A and B are shown apart, each in its own frame.
Chain A
């Protein structure tokens, strides 16, 4: 064999062996990969972190319990022992630690008791044997009584009983919390979506609120009107309880003058008109009859407070009487009238700067000038951002009314416009979004009327949001305007992960977009300069 033949043979052999080697490598890679994949799936060759919920008690509760702790100290000095609030679970302790969602509520109670041992203690009641953890009998029937009725409220193993005996007076106050809405129980400590799934855990706030409730002797009443399609979010009801209110539903047209007087007996009572969709009965004064709005006027003259939220998309004619009534107190809902078509629409505020990225109707409200607005702002900024989110809010017009002096609480930015039925109707900006009117009555029994023409302030997603202070805003309104009891400002809520950005405005989003656009542009410009200079050389 000559040299050339030997070389050719060697190359051919090398090619063949190279081909075999390549095929073998490919086969080994595939096989190795399949084996590794099988092993990893079988034996769980994954690395990941599990996150545990932080149920520790926040500093916000220190402010909330400050007065109660002071009283406990004084009682101890006077009577040798301070009265404690007993939080009684109706389930055994070991069952609770495994119960979902009861374990969260239980842990929150334990954390609160650990933080405030002089004020709070935990107990476990067996509702079958009616014995507590110390083996003492417990009379559950007294906790089941509902004031003013013969009905007995049910007690389940997911119920809680908050009880407190004042050492000064010996009086016991208590509150039974039973879940009627879900089979899992403990729903009062969660904010629920319309499909009954949980959007956040608010155990710290609600538990603190119930503890605060039994510690206080005075419980004003929040009267919710009915009969006009009113709607109220469950979370707002819970917030009213946290503010120390008893909640009652009333049909105004059924109330006599004496009953109207009883409504305003406590200066901290409040009548809540929440998003009505049909008209209130017009004022019939002068005719000798006693219409619905006449009753409300009477109530206000006796010092009764009013809290009104109006959905601006309800047809103008369906709210006409109530809106005209409020105008007498200096607060009107801005309306665009199309005289040719004989139809009216509310002027909805739209802002493409001070709003969250979107259609411009979800506004971030600003606080107006004035003492009241300043006080409310200070409260909302204690533990949060202070920003209030409002969606689809009609503008309010404040005019010198016959009967009251109105002042703005929340306003839009100067760049906002008004839109009615899709068309721009005003571009002045700085529209009033929420206002309060003070009615000066004889005998010093002044009344307050708070109005906002949006149903969104207490919408669930606004209230549970960490980035906005809607909840603390509502608390502050009731605290500063209606003198409700100190609310649980800033108590921690743990949101279910929704992945939503909180607190971002359209203006800020545009700045970030500009930065993201500048970087590639800068590179393009630098590159063009370098390439052109090189070519010129």
Chain B
């Protein structure tokens, strides 16, 4: 797994994609930070993280689109499948590489909140709650991206497919808000809505079930990716 992880990280920083991702993510993150805090004279951290969550829904598919698609297109996946690396290690190695890129960029953006400490009392619980939530949601998005990437050799299709699935999760949250509050379906949809579960963390409340939900969802899509490759091995 470590070998795959190192290989992926190297590919991000020997090629253009790693730098482009970091540049865009940090530039947009910096702009959002300035606009939602400094130029709004507000210490509300939730606005920043909500916008970055939506932005991640677009950026992370672009980061993960090449993970498996490129291997298939370049016909190098045969090497991967026959290498003395288990499929779970392979999938986890690629997942970790993408996740480290995302988490590193997000943590650099989050350091900007130190600028606000002389001017407002930041609630640590809300700041860390938002950060934890977006890291968890990011893990889910990356896992979805890897799964979709494993299904196609076209990188653009992988990106669009990932964004489409993320939009479905967004739509669940929107549909939910239209349902009557006491309707049973609303309760069920609330439980599987990525964006609804984000809400508790953004208020500084640590939702144990929410943490398990995000971890399970990410694990599910990673498992599905492993099933895809497991099936491909026997084809």
Contact = CB atoms under 8 A, between A and B. Distances in A.
A356 B118 CA distance: 14
Contact of A15 (B42, B203, B220, B231): B231
A14 B230 CA distance: 11
B114 to A, nearest CB: 10
Interface stretch (B25-33, B54-62, B86-94, B133-141): B25-33
A515 B210 CA distance: 35
Contacts of B231: 15, 18
Nearest to A25: B223
10 contacts: A15-B234, A32-B216, A37-B191, A499-B43, A501-B41, A513-B34, A520-B24, A527-B22, A528-B19, A531-B16
B44 interface: yes
Interface string B215-233: 0110110011001001100
Given A49-B204, A504-B119, A527-B16, A509 B39 contact: yes
B52 to A, nearest CB: 13
A501 B120 contact: yes
Nearest to B38: A509
Contacts of A501: 37-38, 41-43, 116, 119-120
Nearest to A513: B34
Interface string B106-138: 001000100110111000010000000000000
Contact of A46 (B108, B200, B227): B200
B14 interface: yes
Contacts of B24: 520
B84 interface: no
Given A503-B118, A520-B26, A531 B206 contact: no
A427 interface: no
Contact of B112 (A33, A49, A502, A512): A512
A33 B208 CA distance: 11
Interface of B: 13-16, 18-20, 22-27, 30-31, 33-34, 37-39, 41-44, 108, 112, 115-116, 118-120, 125, 187-188, 190-192, 200, 203-210, 212-213, 216-217, 219-220, 223-224, 227, 230-231, 234
B115 A523 contact: no
* A-B interface, 6 closest residue pairs, ranked by CB to CB distance from nearest: A527-B19, A516-B30, A40-B209, A37-B191, A520-B26, A47-B206
Given A29-B216, A519-B30, A520-B26, A45 B38 contact: no
A13 to B, nearest CB: 11
Contacts of A33: 191-192, 209, 212-213, 216-217
B165 to A, nearest CB: 14
B188 A47 contact: no
Interface in A496-537: 499-504, 509, 512-513, 515-517, 519-521, 523-524, 526-528, 530-531, 534
Nearest to B30: A516
Contact of B120 (A18, A37, A502, A519): A502
Contacts of A357: 38-39, 41
A34 interface: yes
A467 B121 CA distance: 11
Contacts of B39: 357, 509
B144 to A, nearest CB: 14
Contact of A516 (B16, B18, B34, B116): B34
A464 B48 CA distance: 27
Interface in A31-67: 32-34, 36-40, 45-49
Contacts of B43: 499-501
Contacts of B223: 22, 25
A48 B205 contact: yes
A39 B220 CA distance: 21
Nearest to A362: B41
Contacts of A34: 188, 191-192
Contacts, number: 144
B38 A513 contact: yes
Given A18-B231, A504-B41, A523-B23, A46 B207 contact: yes
Contacts of B188: 34
B24 to A, nearest CB: 8
B207 A527 contact: no
Contacts of A512: 34, 38, 112, 115
B27 A502 contact: no
A320 interface: no
A284 interface: no
A280 B42 CA distance: 42
Nearest to B129: A48
Given A29-B220, A46-B200, A504-B41, A22 B205 contact: no
Contacts of A26: 220
Contacts of A255: none
A184 interface: no
B209 A499 contact: no
A315 to B, nearest CB: 31
A353 to B, nearest CB: 15
Contact of B38 (A467, A499, A504): A504
A14 B231 CA distance: 9
A233 to B, nearest CB: 21
B14 to A, nearest CB: 6
Interface in A423-452: none
A523 to B, nearest CB: 5
Given A11-B234, A516-B112, A45 B208 contact: yes
B26 A30 contact: no
A11 to B, nearest CB: 6
B230 A40 contact: no
A523 B212 contact: no
A39 B208 CA distance: 11
A503 B120 CA distance: 9
Contacts of A22: 223-224, 227
A358 interface: yes
B163 to A, nearest CB: 21
A264 to B, nearest CB: 43
A414 B115 CA distance: 26
A515 B25 CA distance: 15
